[in-house]
Homo-oligomer: A and B are copies of this chain.
Amino acid sequence: MNDARVVIIGGSAAGVEAAIAIQKYHKVGKVTVIRKEEKVLVPCGIPYIYGTLGAVEKNLMPDALLGSVELVIDEATFIDRKSRVVTTANGKTVAYDKLIMATGSIPIIPRIPGVNKKNVFPIWKDAKYLEELDKALNLAKNVVVIGGGFIGVEFADECRKKGLDVTIVEMLSHCLLLACDEEYSIMGEDILEDRGVNILTGSAAQSIGGAEKAEYVELSDGKRLEADVVILGIGVAPNTDLAQRVGLELGELKGVKVDEYMRTSDPNILAAGDCAEKTSFFTGKPSGLRLASIAVREARLAAINLFEARRRNEGTIGVFATAIGDSGIGVAGLTEREALQEGFDIVVGQAIAVDKHPGGMPGARQLRVRLIFDRKSGRLLGGEACGGVTTGEVANMIAMAVVNRMTAGQMVTMQIGTHPALTASPIVYQLVNAAEAAMVKFG
């Protein structure tokens, strides 16, 4: 027990988890959460508001999660690091002994003409704003989603569930190409197209036309796409306004610089989540990954390390999962492309089998897995999965194998349980068989 005053700035994934974890790991005097938003959204649930959940209020995190904290709904505008006092926009001051910055990220808005027109929506994590998007979609017929990453893909699929005409405009040669290898990107595109989403890849939006409101998106080849609503899903940047204002150091990729214990350049300030700089597990280089799951993990680490260095962050491997319709795509660790870029000599193994057994079990469907190993050490660098509802946990198993530095040989003889209604048969179990397909290539 100590009487430390802890302040958390930010109330999304990292802020919430920091508040919870501090109360689990420490007995402190007082925890104050300062956040701008009246209500907090489940970040990954945002696209699902529109087709699946049906309303913004079905995608809120209840404040009860926070436990016994002082909640200040206000914007933290300054930190006097010497006297350890936070000032808010409304002039409130809150003293702290330890502070956790969890200010999150802001959507990247492309500098194209017309981007500020009405009905052009970057994804701000703000309940009222997202209700405006809901209203606009309810009146729309044609939607253009600029950016074919996870968020763009999920928004496109949700808009289809509402019966809208949807087109994704993606600059790269395929959707999801920053997250997975081409083969899995194409699988994702195939599922989207089966569900009626139009996809234009290798295409850049050059401007957004219309009178007051968006009416169309003009592409670099001059083609015009009708659009009552334009959704921008081209990524996020760390929100470091406050950090910069108070002189905290930033990293190479412009996140708040932190050490392996989530401590910033100020010994009394830690940072976690989208606002914090990340480091790759594989290379130690800065990483641009920003995901709620990473934010929560970092918040937990920051809470554990709040008063003393207790648990190292070994760097992020990156684990994604998405769902399109009833299909899942998951990725953990390095893709083949990333591994090659980092100079690894790789061995790839694949396997595909039904996710129940025998194949006639109701609901059985194909689950495919692709694993990427380092030839030199035999260790797993990453992998991809595409299947049904178990895909997310299969990606998490790949992640666990990566972090534990499992080799192909270890994965071939991994211990699993199997069941007709729950998994593939042990003979064709995908993770084992993909590892085996790689192992026989090691020579």
Q: Report the bound CA distance from A16 to B425 in whole Å.
A: 12
Asked if A255 is at the interface of the complex by the 8 Å CB criterion, the answer is no
Q: Report the bound CA distance from A403 to B409 in whole Å.
A: 14
- A residues 39-66 near B (Cβ < 8 Å) are 42, 44-45, 48, 52-53, 58-61, 65
Asked if A375 is at the interface of the complex by the 8 Å CB criterion, the answer is no
A311 touches B45 (CB 8 A): no
B400 touches A361 (CB 8 A): no
Given contacts A24-B440, A362-B52, contact A13 B422 (CB under 8 A): no
Asked if A284 is at the interface of the complex by the 8 Å CB criterion, the answer is no
Q: Report the bound CA distance from A17 to B332 in whole Å.
A: 28
The one of B397, B426, B440 in contact with A397, judged by C-beta atoms closer than 8 angstroms, is: B397
- A residues 300-331 near B (Cβ < 8 Å) are 300-301, 304, 311, 313, 316-317, 319-323, 328, 330-331
A42 touches B358 (CB 8 A): yes
> Which residues on the B side are within 8 Å of A17 (C-beta)?
426-427
Asked if A200 is at the interface of the complex by the 8 Å CB criterion, the answer is no
The one of B330, B392, B393, B417 in contact with A399, judged by C-beta atoms closer than 8 angstroms, is: B417
> Which residues on the B side are within 8 Å of A65 (C-beta)?
427
Asked if A207 is at the interface of the complex by the 8 Å CB criterion, the answer is no
Q: Report the bound CA distance from A148 to B393 in whole Å.
A: 29
Identical copies in the complex: 2
Q: Report the bound CA distance from A320 to B422 in whole Å.
A: 11
Residue of B nearest to A332 (CB): B417
**How far in angstroms is the closest Cβ of chain B from A64?**
12
A322 touches B419 (CB 8 A): yes
- Among A20, A301, A357, find the residue whose CB has the most chain B CB atoms closer than 10 A: A357
How many chain A residues touch B (CB < 8 A): the figure is 84
Q: Report the bound CA distance from A52 to B421 in whole Å.
A: 10
Q: Report the bound CA distance from A361 to B42 in whole Å.
A: 12
- Among A17, A401, A422, find the residue whose CB has the most chain B CB atoms closer than 10 A: A422
B436 touches A24 (CB 8 A): yes
A293 touches B418 (CB 8 A): yes
- Among A24, A362, A412, A415, find the residue whose CB has the most chain B CB atoms closer than 10 A: A415
Q: Report the bound CA distance from A419 to B401 in whole Å.
A: 20
Q: Report the bound CA distance from A184 to B214 in whole Å.
A: 56
Asked if A89 is at the interface of the complex by the 8 Å CB criterion, the answer is no
B396 touches A417 (CB 8 A): yes
A427 touches B296 (CB 8 A): yes
Asked if A25 is at the interface of the complex by the 8 Å CB criterion, the answer is yes
Asked if A119 is at the interface of the complex by the 8 Å CB criterion, the answer is no
B403 touches A414 (CB 8 A): yes
- Among A42, A281, A392, A401, find the residue whose CB has the most chain B CB atoms closer than 10 A: A392
Asked if A395 is at the interface of the complex by the 8 Å CB criterion, the answer is yes
Residue of B nearest to A325 (CB): B421
A403-443 contact mask (Cβ, 8 Å, vs B): 1 or 0: 11010010011111111111101110100100010001000
> Which residues on the B side are within 8 Å of A414 (C-beta)?
297, 399-400, 403
Residue of B nearest to A436 (CB): B24
Asked if A172 is at the interface of the complex by the 8 Å CB criterion, the answer is no
> Which residues on the B side are within 8 Å of A300 (C-beta)?
412-413, 432, 436
Q: Report the bound CA distance from A153 to B419 in whole Å.
A: 13
- A residues 256-294 near B (Cβ < 8 Å) are 281, 291-294
A25 touches B319 (CB 8 A): no
The one of B311, B331, B358, B432 in contact with A53, judged by C-beta atoms closer than 8 angstroms, is: B358
Given known contacts A13-B426, A297-B415, A390-B393, what 8 new A-B pairs fall within 8 Å (CB)?
A20-B427, A52-B361, A52-B362, A328-B419, A328-B422, A363-B389, A393-B423, A404-B406
Partner-B contacts on A (CB < 8 A): 13, 16-17, 20-21, 24-25, 42, 44-45, 48, 52-53, 58-61, 65, 281, 291-297, 300-301, 304, 311, 313, 316-317, 319-323, 328, 330-332, 357-358, 360-363, 389-397, 399-404, 406, 409, 412-423, 425-427, 429, 432, 436, 440
A-B contacts, 19 listed (Cβ < 8 Å): A42-B425, A45-B357, A45-B358, A45-B361, A48-B420, A65-B427, A292-B418, A292-B425, A293-B429, A297-B415, A297-B426, A300-B412, A300-B436, A311-B413, A316-B415, A389-B389, A392-B422, A392-B423, A396-B423
